Amino acid sequence: MVAQVYNTQGNQPTRMSLEDHILKETSVEPIDCGTHPHAKADADALHRSLACARDAIKQHLAFKTMQRGPGEDSEYACGLIGLRDGAVLWFDYNSGPCGGRGCNESFEARRAQISDVVVVHDATGFHRFWWAVRR
């Protein structure tokens, strides 16, 4: 498993957006397979996003799909990035991991298998992407 972590110590003079981090990984503008809220995401839409990701992998196209939204004091996102060589990365992003604007964002991307990512449903109607098997 390969992990890449950027900017967690605030050593970078300028902050990078989530979109810039994703572009840094893909090297090309990825197909947008969907961005979903953390709260009240539509389960069918999450499944369509995973189908889009699987299709992009078959066609050797870069892609992204994620759940994104406000955290307690920053923005949080997690999801999948696909590279043109067929590699898939699970990522976690936090715009202010130290609790606000006092530090730079964190972005971590780790190799994943698309077959290990599922949509989890709970009784309260909360649906989310879940990386079920971390190898």
Whole-model pTM above 0.75?
A: yes
CB 119 within 8 A of CB 14: no
Provide the residue range defining the domain that includes 70. 3-131
Mean pLDDT within 51-68 = 98
Is the predicted pLDDT of residue 125 greater than 90, yes or no?
A: no
Mean pLDDT within 4-32 = 78
Supply the pLDDT for residue 88: 97
Instruction: For residues 30 and 22, give the distance between their C-alpha atoms in angstroms, rounded to a whole number.
Output: 8
Mean pLDDT within 103-132 = 90
CB 78 within 8 A of CB 49: no
pLDDT: which is higher, 114 or 4 = 114
Is the predicted pLDDT of residue 13 greater than 90, yes or no?
A: no
Domain total of the chain: 1
Nearest Cα neighbor of 52 from 41, 40, 64 is 64
**Tally of CA atoms within 13 A in the half-sphere of 62 that contains its CB:** 10
